[in-house]
Amino acid sequence: MSTAKCVGILTSGGDAPGMNAAIRAVTRSAIYNGMAVKGIYRGYKGLITGEIQEFKTQNVSNIIQRGGTLLKTARCMEFKTPEGRKQAYNKLVEEGIEALIVIGGDGTLTGARIFAQEFNYPIVGLPGTIDNDLFGTDVTIGYDTALNTIMECVDKIRDTATSHDRLFFIEVMGRDAGFLALNGAIASGAEAAIIPETSLENDQLEEMIKNGFRKSKNSSIVLVAESELTGGAIGIAERVKNEFPLFDVRVTILGHLQRGGSPSAQDRILATRMGIAAIDALLDDQRNVMIGIQNDQIVYVPFSKAIKNDKPINRELLNTLRVSSI
């Protein structure tokens, strides 16, 4: 049984729809279990500067449906230095915060891991990123909403692509992971996806053209995962213009609109379950673990595993896309 009487909560790195639902669940579960909760603004930055406020249950009312993060977020350079982390630790002691819940992606959990080791301090992480690239969890908070946003956008682009008989390369986020591109392509009926995970195995563009992907179609849509390995949508389109000049090519980069919007039911439920699990984990004396979900069961994943391993794509999905798009 943890003895923490006061927990701090922060969101850090890129925001993701569902972060608010997670903040709400953590806050309410902590209060339910007799703990005090302090909201830390702007991620690790606000921890260093002391932008901290006590949260009551009303502070998290009416936020489950909102995108973004009530606590704001930042990517903090100072926290990467020992001096910055020491300042952060001093602030925690000053505020009487005895454990931390951090919500974010790879960078956030990497920072948490270093800090937890350095100061022997209990931290529980929640996977909040649209990229879905954290190992040890089937899905991350925000991924489902982003996938739905991509699907809606591609549906719209499909209309104009069809009218003009065009080939569209649509770039989606994911950092170095192709989950959004691959599943976004399946969900929107795209003809192909170009993803970093298989970039070193074959020339995905050449293969696509060789297989006559456009044979019986007047428009085509290809989702391209942003990444140096894929070359991004602009890089791919340039190649097509040079190597296959007959195609009427256009590029759309979906960009940050993928990060916004009201979270889907899936993300709200996931974030709520994970938020409650984070407090349960602290009560269970777990520390330095990320809450994950595997086969609909909550699991604890050590930070070292969640961030160090590359999460593999499900290769069956490559075939699903290939077969469904002939």
Which residues sit at the interface with ligand F6P, rule CB under 6 A?
14, 105, 129-131, 173-175, 226, 259
CB closer to ligand F6P out of 14 and 125: 14
CB closer to ligand F6P out of 130 and 170: 130
Residues 211, 199: Cα–Cα separation, whole Å: 17
**C-beta of residue 322 within 8 angstroms of C-beta of residue 202:** no
**Three-state SS at 37:** strand
CB of 255 to ligand F6P, least distance (A): 9
CB closer to ligand F6P out of 72 and 259: 259
The residue from 15, 106, 131, 133 that is catalytic is 131
CB of 240 to ligand F6P, least distance (A): 23
Residues contacting 26, CB < 8 A, separation 6+:
7, 9, 37, 101, 126, 275, 276, 278, 279
CB closer to ligand F6P out of 150 and 276: 150
Residues contacting 81, CB < 8 A, separation 6+:
none
CB of 226 to ligand F6P, least distance (A): 6
CB closer to ligand F6P out of 220 and 230: 230
- Sequence letter at residue 307: I
CB of 232 to ligand F6P, least distance (A): 11
Radius of gyration of the chain (CA): 21
Phi then psi for residue 191, to 5 deg, are: -80, -30
**C-beta of residue 278 within 8 angstroms of C-beta of residue 299:** no
CB closer to ligand F6P out of 9 and 225: 225
Q: 314: buried, middle or exposed (CB in 10 Å: 19+, 13-18, 0-12)? A: exposed
Phi then psi for residue 5, to 5 deg, are: -100, -20
The answer to whether 15 is a known catalytic residue is: no
CB of 173 to ligand F6P, least distance (A): 3
**Full DSSP string of 289-301:** EEEEEETTEEEEE
**Three-state SS at 316:** helix
CB of 257 to ligand F6P, least distance (A): 11
List the beta bridge partners of residue 169: 222, 251
The residues that are catalytic are 131
